[in-house]
Chains A and B, each alone.
Chain A
Amino acid sequence: MTGALTETTGRETDVCILVEGCYPYVPGGVSGWIDWLIRSQTGTSFQIVALWPKPTTQPPRYALPPNVVALHHLYLQDFGAEPVKRLRLPDGLDELAAALGELMGRGGRGALARVDQAVRRTRGRLPLPVLFNSPVAWEIARQGYGADMPYGSFLHYFWAWRALLGGLLATLEFPLPKARVYHTISTGYAGVLAARAALETGRPTLLTEHGIYTNERRIELLMADWVADTVDKGHAIDDPRFDLRDMWVRAFEAYARTCYECVTEVITLYEDNQRAQRLLGAPLQSLRVVANGIDLKRFAGLRQAGDRDRPTVALIGRVVPIKDVKTFISAAALLRTRIPDVHALILGPTDEDADYFDECAALVASLGLEGTVEFTGTVNIVEYMSRIHVVALTSLSESQPLVILEAGAAGIPFVATNVGSCREILEGRPDETPALGPGGIVTGLVAPGEVAAALESLLTDHARRRRYGDTLRERVKRVYTAEKAADAYRGLYRQYIEAPTHGVPRPAA
């Protein structure tokens, strides 16, 4: 493994991270994880390709760790040269059009290889940025429209197609930095770039998915109002007519398939995700789980809330709709009818969605919960841990919430909705040996009654609460430590950095 490099361009690094739409510009779970990963791999050199819509003046939200030697940008919506009207068309354009159609329609390793071949053949005489703003692109769009949805609105089709193709061509055109291992943090365009890296360089390529990118895009697209429905299907779900929404979903599924078929390892945070990955075409033998972890030392030696202390439950998180704080407040109202002196803390920033916070505050007031529910704002949660008997999470969506691990490290049992890996963390994986038992209670989504009942059972049964807290702490120690996660990636990187190159690589930029 090479030492940290100081050059910013041209040199080969150990790892090249490919990340779309987050690090280092947007704070959040995935960005924080990338920062942690790079910092945890001292002695490994990194460069980063940040896929971003357009050039931005936005300052990075993360200072790059010292072992990052270069940050490259790939702009997805800033592609194309000055329009050219009269072109001498090179041979092989039909082949390129067919290959692009296949990559956007079905995807897969073979489709990417055919596109790669066709692009190489035409690139000398017709570079992709020129092609994108030329009559050739128009003709390809026209053919695609004729094949996909000749009854639909060509105008809508054209712009959707152009947005998709622009991102794809930008990804195909981007000069790959030299690295021993490529590591993408999602499928999508970053996944296509990783697939390209695998194909063109013959180097090992890793994919770590926190959430399932394709499903997230599908959910967005199925609900989106900005995608026009050009075909009236009523409420029929069996109508086979292809429409714009289908085109978007199909493209992201195709990109995911391409990525899954090309990368060496498909890593995720918990087993439930693997089912979705397999449905989207990930080969079974490439699947692996590497759970996130936390630093146990922060929570070592904390005093536990006593049986005679005021019964206290807490929700730790931002006050935003996705956390469904209102369900927690409603549960607190129900809980108060059974445990009148219960204290419900909401520990987290309230300024991210001011309207939602106002609604939550109004709900507290309307339920007369001023003496029960307390919004603390941003605090150091470690200072509150010794006052809390049970922590709750009412989120509508999570992947692997660190807050459960933090509560577990402090020996506090948990009540969580059945999202992401909550059940896996609270109840253990099916292959847990020896089985530790439950460390908390899993409830349904948007179910204040269930949440209140679960909280009540743990607040009133002290022995059970302590038992669950101890179990969760043991499970976190055993599985979810930052050291274990860092070691897992260290092992993977070491294995693949030293691995021989497969196939005949083409020279990277």
Chain B
Amino acid sequence: MSKVMQPAEHGMAGEADAVARVSVTERLLLLAVAVVEALALFGLARAEAPVLAFGAVHAAALAAIGLLVLLARARGRDTAVALLALVACTAIGPAGALGAALLGVTGGQERSRRLIERWYERIAMSTAIDPEMRLHADVEVGRMLDPSAPSPRAFPTVMTSGRLVERQVILGLIARHFDPAYLPTLKTALESPEPVLRVQAAAVAAHVGPAVRQRLRDRLAALPGMAEGQGPALTALAELELLIGSGLLDETERLQAREAAAQLGDRIVVAPAARPPRFASGGDVAAETVRRDTLERLLLERRRFADLRALRSAERIAARHPAARLRRLGSRRPRPGAAA
């Protein structure tokens, strides 16, 4: 499970920064060395002192800066600014020390250091995760569909043997994500001996009722322009049967649906099929199963037992020997238009 970034992580990062940063004291000392050396040199110049005196003052300033370098190193601090001051002061006197101190104050070197560190972490393939990145990942992954979670269980199974809470959750899902395929599960809930479930199922039935009727209207409207072939007709027939069996249609609608289903049945059984049904051949197996069941039921209702036997035989062959499936199915498929 994901977690939010902990404040302690911020704290640790802050401490690390403090260790690496140039302290204010060091900067002030550098500044002081620069000022003192400048004033001393100015005084010596006014007093027209010998060159040796100038050399002594400059050496003292360098020694002071060198001491700062040693102190910074002893405390585990960043020595870059102090070293820079030492080099600059050696070359150009107090102006160098002053420049180095000012560089420390503006933090330009600090920014450079951080950029360098990030770049280093990147090329070193560091495993440290940016806290913002981690939070983003937690939120994103936490809200996404969990690929490691168990597959959703079949609604009809849970509705008959699941715990009450699970069954109630399923009814909630049916209400919020309605699909005609859920109607048998809803019907089971309506007939449940558990009163709590029945009441909820009734509420869901009232909730999805308009959607069921709309689905029927859409399906009936789409029938005239439906594509040729048994597949689409079987899909439409399967859905009509679900809608009819739901008990959520008015009597008039039910009669309309029945009439449309009968016409579709005629079309599937009587009209020449463009190609035989190809069941369980991959793809949407659930939809294929529904179509196959629908066709079997249709053949049974119309007492076309020979065709039903042929269909089942073809399925058995296909299941045993997929390579022979198409060849055998072609020759033994239900004969469109043939008498039972």
Residues of A within 8 A of B (CB): 146, 149-152, 212, 215, 218-219, 222-223, 225, 230-239, 241, 245, 272-273, 275-276, 279, 321-322, 324, 326, 329-330, 333-334, 359, 363, 366-367, 396-397, 418-420, 444-448
Contacts and interface: CB of A to CB of B under 8 A. Distances in A.
B173 A321 contact: no
A453 to B, nearest CB: 14
Interface string B92-123: 00000000000000000000000000000000
Q: Which 5 A-B pairs have the closest CB atoms?
A: A151-B142, A222-B172, A396-B202, A223-B175, A366-B252
A223 B152 contact: no
B171 A367 contact: no
Contacts of A212: 196
A473 B164 CA distance: 36
Interface residues of B, number: 51
Given A219-B200, A236-B152, A238-B150, A446 B144 contact: no
Interface of B: 2-4, 138-139, 141-146, 149-153, 155, 158, 162, 164, 166, 168-173, 175-177, 190-191, 195-196, 198-207, 209, 247-248, 250-252, 254
B153 A238 contact: yes
B199 A215 contact: yes
A152 B199 CA distance: 31
Contact of A397 (B2, B164, B191, B203): B203
B142 A322 contact: no
A321 B177 CA distance: 21
Contact of A418 (B3, B198, B247): B198
A146 B2 CA distance: 11
Contacts of B175: 222-223
Contacts of B196: 212, 215, 275-276
Nearest to A212: B196
A272 B254 CA distance: 34
A447 B139 CA distance: 47
Nearest to B182: A235
Given A363-B250, A367-B251, 14 more contacts: A150-B142, A151-B141, A219-B200, A222-B171, A222-B176, A232-B144, A275-B196, A330-B250, A359-B250, A366-B252, A396-B203, A396-B205, A397-B202, A446-B205
Contact of B169 (A151, A222, A334, A396): A222
A237 B260 CA distance: 36
Contacts of B201: 445
17 contacts: A149-B142, A215-B200, A232-B143, A232-B145, A237-B153, A237-B158, A237-B169, A239-B146, A239-B149, A276-B196, A321-B209, A322-B206, A324-B206, A363-B250, A397-B202, A444-B190, A446-B190
A208 to B, nearest CB: 18
A215 B173 CA distance: 16
Given A151-B141, A419-B198, A447 B247 contact: yes
A229 to B, nearest CB: 8
Nearest to B173: A235
A337 B220 CA distance: 27
Contacts of A324: 206
B328 to A, nearest CB: 37
Contacts of A239: 146, 149
A423 to B, nearest CB: 9
B298 to A, nearest CB: 23
A152 B149 contact: no
A272 B196 CA distance: 9
A394 to B, nearest CB: 11
A273 B196 CA distance: 9
A366 B249 CA distance: 13
Nearest to A369: B251
A375 B155 CA distance: 40
A215 B167 CA distance: 13
